[in-house]
Amino acid sequence: CEVPEGGLVPKSLYRTAEELENEDIKLWTETIYQSASVFKGAPHEVLIQIVDASSVITWDFDVCKGDIVFNIFHSKRAPQPPKKDSLGAHSITSPGGNNVQLIDKVWQLGRDYSMVESPLICKEGESVQGSHVTRWPGFYILQWKFHSMPACATTSLPRVDDVLASLQVSSHKCKVMYYTEVIGSEDFRGSMTSLESSHSGFSQLSAATTSSSQSHSSSMISR
């Protein structure tokens, strides 16, 4: 410590919350995990291309700040890569991590892409691990979205404007550390029994729309 016991801490040694946060980010970058910022109106999305059906998408993430909603979507066509001049898909880098949006604003749920799992609400401080056995080839999008209270009114601003407006509002920002991996069905077959035994309420939508022999998923939450 650079300050003797009982001494007055000089203001030159004061650290802002953002500076402390950036120090944490440096530690995170030394691991296999990636950090992402989630803003109100601007989710973070990760694209996974699946060639062989019955592949297994696995995820492991920690909610470091705020409450988020975790979704998994499927699309037969690839989203356009984020462009600075695009109004639909955006990539934003902030001190707290990346923020990438892949689902174009003109896309319609049920027409251009579909939800393959029920939304999972994850609270600050929770660690979530889970798996999803894909039913179709194509493009899967893992999404971490800001969890708004039901009483909050929706905004009509474009998604980028939402981000710029909320960058200065800490209560509208979430942080996630995540790791994803795709495992071939032949490599995962030995673990399929354990996957079925830990089947949770997270996959109620999948269970209602697909047979158990075609789609299995699990998600575990711990503190």
Question: At 5, is the pLDDT very low, low, confident or very high (cuts 50, 70, 90)?
Answer: confident
pTM given for the model: 0.65
Q: For residue 209, is pLDDT > 50?
A: no
Phi and psi torsions of 221, nearest 5°: -120, 135
Question: At 27, is the pLDDT very low, low, confident or very high (cuts 50, 70, 90)?
Answer: low
Q: Return d(Cα 28, Cα 44) in angstroms, integer.
A: 17
Give the pLDDT mean for 92-108. Answer: 78
CA torsion, points 7, 10, 11, 13, in degrees to nearest 10?
-100
Question: At 37, is the pLDDT very low, low, confident or very high (cuts 50, 70, 90)?
Answer: very high
CB 72 within 8 A of CB 115: yes
Which residues partner with 140 through β-bridges?
A: 48, 74
Share of the chain above pLDDT 90, in %: 41
Helix (H) or strand (E) holding 192: helix 192-197
Where b means 16+ CB within 10 Å and e means fewer, 147-169 reads: beeeeeeeeeeebbebbeebbee
Give the pLDDT mean for 161-184. Answer: 73
Q: For residue 99, is pLDDT > 60?
A: yes
